[in-house]
Amino acid sequence: MDNNCPIEYKKGYTNFFGCKINLSSKCFIPKIETEFWVKKAIKQIRGKNFNILDIFSGSGCIGIAVLKNCSEQCRRVTFAEINKNLIEQIKLNLRLNKINPKRYKVIQSDIFKEILGESKRKQKKSKCKQEKERQFDYIFANPPYIPLKNKHLVQNSVLNYEPHLALFGGKDGLFYIKKFLKDVRRYLKLNGEIYMEFDHLQKTDLERLLKKLNYTNYKIYKDQFKKYRYVCIKN
């Protein structure tokens, strides 16, 4: 590897809120801005009995941090990731952090497509099925959100080494965010919460999108660098 390669790839791992995250698949490197808001979220949910979905999971760092820093009262974390290679990366990191297999499920899914499983999706819609869909108390999402139009602003070490599928969210960066926000409420229990990361330059567009999709109970927060970084949405 050359001198411009991220140190995390050279070492083969990184640390994320007390968890050792293996990066052997050259997956997206967890960022300290993400760690900041995940710590905040875990402080809010620690000690509660909940089910969580870690979607756009990547290395699995968010869900693993939840499992490692919350008690056994956390019934299960479901990890959802579209990349087949990263499914194995998530499983490796779960083993590396000695997480009880009874506490998690890892599925390959294009956003929500496989969350319920193929057979359940083919069932006829009913009120009962709609209630079954609402299975998560908390949903954590770190979707690809860098606008392609801002590609020139990305650090060379990121642009040249990290997977572009995990970085870019279409021309305006909102491609995956729009898909996520359009469907996510179907999977969230009443009084549940969503935590989603976004680009600080997208705040105005995100608020416009939330209004368009009839979201009303939400708050946007800044990261440790005083930049708007994540939104918490309550059902």
The domain limits of the chain are: 7-234
pLDDT at 125: 52
Selection from 118, 120, 141 nearest residue 132 by Cα: 120
Neighbours of 36 (CB within 10 A): 18
pLDDT tier at 122, thresholds 50, 70, 90: very low
% of the chain beyond a pLDDT of 70: 91
pLDDT at 148: 93
Give the integer Cα–Cα distance in Å for 195 and 183. 14
Give the integer Cα–Cα distance in Å for 93 and 110. 21
pLDDT at 45: 85
Task: Enumerate the β-bridge partners of residue 220.
Answer: 231
pLDDT at 129: 52
What are the CA-CA distances from residue 105 to residues 13, 55, 210, 213 (Å)?
22, 12, 30, 30
Give the integer Cα–Cα distance in Å for 122 and 169. 29
pLDDT reading at 130 higher than 60? no
pLDDT reading at 128 higher than 60? no
pLDDT, averaged across the chain: 91
pLDDT at 14: 97
Reported as half-sphere exposure (CB side, CA atoms, 13 A), residue 199 has a value of 23
Selection from 165, 168, 162 nearest residue 27 by Cα: 162
pLDDT tier at 124, thresholds 50, 70, 90: very low
Alpha-carbon radius of gyration of the chain: 17
pLDDT at 140: 98
pLDDT at 121: 46
pLDDT at 49: 82
pTM here is: 0.91
More confident residue, 157 or 54: 54
Q: For 58-84, how does the pLDDT look when each residue is reduced to its tens digit (9 = 90+)?
A: 999 999 999 999 877 677 999 999 999
* 145 contacts 198 by C-beta, under 8 angstroms: yes
The fold of 7-234 is Rossmann fold (3.40.50)
% of the chain beyond a pLDDT of 90: 80
Q: For 80-89, how does the pLDDT look when each residue is reduced to its tens digit (9 = 90+)?
A: 999 999 999 9
Task: Enumerate the β-bridge partners of residue 126.
Answer: none
Q: Indicate the SS3 state at residue 145.
A: coil
Selection from 56, 44, 17, 213 nearest residue 145 by Cα: 56
What are the CA-CA distances from residue 117 to residues 63, 121, 190 (Å)?
20, 6, 22
**Mean pLDDT over residues 84-113, rounded?**
96
Q: For 174-224, how does the pLDDT look when each residue is reduced to its tens digit (9 = 90+)?
A: 999 999 999 999 999 999 999 999 999 999 999 999 999 999 999 999 999
pLDDT reading at 1 higher than 70? no
